Amino acid sequence: MNSTPPVIELADIHKSYGDIAVLKGVSLTARQGEVVALIGSSGSGKSTLLRCINMLEVPEEGTVKIGGETVELSGKPRKPSNERQIRRIRSELGMVFQSFNLWSHMSVLDNVMEAPLHVQKRQRDEVEAEALEMLDKVGIRDKAHSYPSQLSGGQQQRAAIARALCINPRVMLFDEPTSALDPELEAEVLRVIKLLADEGRTMLLVTHDMQFARTIADRIIFLHQGLIEEEGTAEEVFQSTRSPRLRQFLSAAGH
Ligand code: ADP
Ligand code: MG
């Protein structure tokens, strides 16, 4: 895995809200084909870190590289200085959030086709064929012409995953994709994420599900109060935990 090129490189990321420092110098790399799980207590900065990758939040310090390309930031406070670059980079990142964020007035198929058609300006025929293929992959092709409100939460989240896949992202970013779901619906979403991991997709996944992190991740990163406290393979992190804080966190999570 060390031989594949890096897809996401974060170096010394700092982010504050007012006086509160949320990220205090976080560096991480996700290489092509790697599945990296981000774990940590609520409030430790996991979502903020993901949001710094697509510049929904702009870090005050540090650099973000996607596919080897540095996101251009300048000014005080810093802002993305190259709008075209940000638009292009965002269209290479497949984001899946806790809440599904589907357009309620559009069919599932139209939701999935929206960005490829209107942002990426691709051909409708080609996009529709690919959208149906992605819906098939996540197991809801039969719901293509339904509206989000006619779907269960698990089906809506799978539609959101299909939508993220349809932009052909370099990397998939998941932020607690199952935390709004009942346990029986959670399993069907986890199964889809596992399928994507097995296909060799690069993924950065925030999860509260330690069992899932353990089965899916090549590498696990434990964030604590805005810093990486421990990082390693599932075995290193779960079996030979070094940090007392991580030990405490895992034991509170039932491990
Ligand atoms: P996690 O995802 O690990 O639970 P977050 O990244 O959401 O943590 O939040 C980290 C800290 O930053 C929390 O204390 C949260 O209250 C604070 N925070 C997050 N977003 C904002 C915001 N937009 N404005 C102010 N504080 C925020
Ligand atoms: Mg969060």
> Three-class SS string for 182-211?
CHHHHHHHHHHHHHHHHCCCCEEEECCCHH
C-alpha of residue 46 to centroid of ligand 1, in Å: 8
Model pLDDT, residue 1:
56
Q: Which atom of ligand 1 is nearest to the CA of 44?
A: 3
Percentage, residues of the chain above pLDDT 70: 99
pLDDT of 253 above 90: no
Which ligand has the shortest distance to the CA of 51? 1
Q: What is the mean pLDDT of residues 167-180?
A: 94
Contact 186, 197 (CB under 8 A): no
C-alpha 164/C-alpha 171 separation (Å) is 10
Which ligand has the shortest distance to the CA of 175? 2
C-alpha of residue 43 to centroid of ligand 1, in Å: 6
Q: Which of 19, 22, 56, 206 has most ligand 1 atoms within 8 Å of its beta carbon, as the pocket-test mutant?
A: 22
Opening angle at CA 156, ends 50 and 175, nearest 5: 15
Contact 210, 204 (CB under 8 A): no
Mean pLDDT over all residues of the chain? 94
C-alpha 116/C-alpha 94 separation (Å) is 12
Contact 23, 15 (CB under 8 A): yes
Q: What is the mean pLDDT of residues 75-100?
A: 91
In tens, the pLDDT along 178-187 reads: 998 988 889 9
Model pLDDT, residue 147:
98
Model pLDDT, residue 4:
94
H helices of 22-107, in order, are 46-53, 83-90
φ and ψ at 26, to 5 degrees?
-105, 130
Beta strands, E only, 118-236:
171-175, 203-206, 219-224, 227-232
C-alpha 69/C-alpha 93 separation (Å) is 13
Closest protein CA for atom 26 of ligand 1:
17
Q: Which atom of ligand 1 is nearest to the CA of 49?
A: 6
Model pLDDT, residue 191:
94
pLDDT of 30 above 70: yes
Contact 51, 71 (CB under 8 A): no
Name the least confident of 1-10, 100-109, 221-230: 1-10
Closest protein CA for atom 6 of ligand 1:
45
Q: Which distant-in-sequence residues (6+ apart) come within 8 Å of 195 by Cβ?
A: 137
In tens, the pLDDT along 34-73 reads: 999 999 999 999 999 999 999 999 999 999 999 999 999 9
Percentage, residues of the chain above pLDDT 90: 89
pTM here? 0.94
C-alpha of residue 57 to centroid of ligand 1, in Å: 11
Closest protein CA for atom 23 of ligand 1:
17
Q: Which residue ranges form the domains of the chain, and what is each CATH number?
A: 1-90+217-255 (3.40.50.300)
C-alpha of residue 86 to centroid of ligand 1, in Å: 23
DSSP class of 233: -
Closest protein CA for atom 24 of ligand 1:
17
pLDDT category, 2, cuts 50, 70, 90?
low
Q: Which of 29, 28, 27 is nearest to 6 (CA)?
A: 29
C-alpha of residue 60 to centroid of ligand 1, in Å: 15
Q: What is the mean pLDDT of residues 162-168?
A: 95
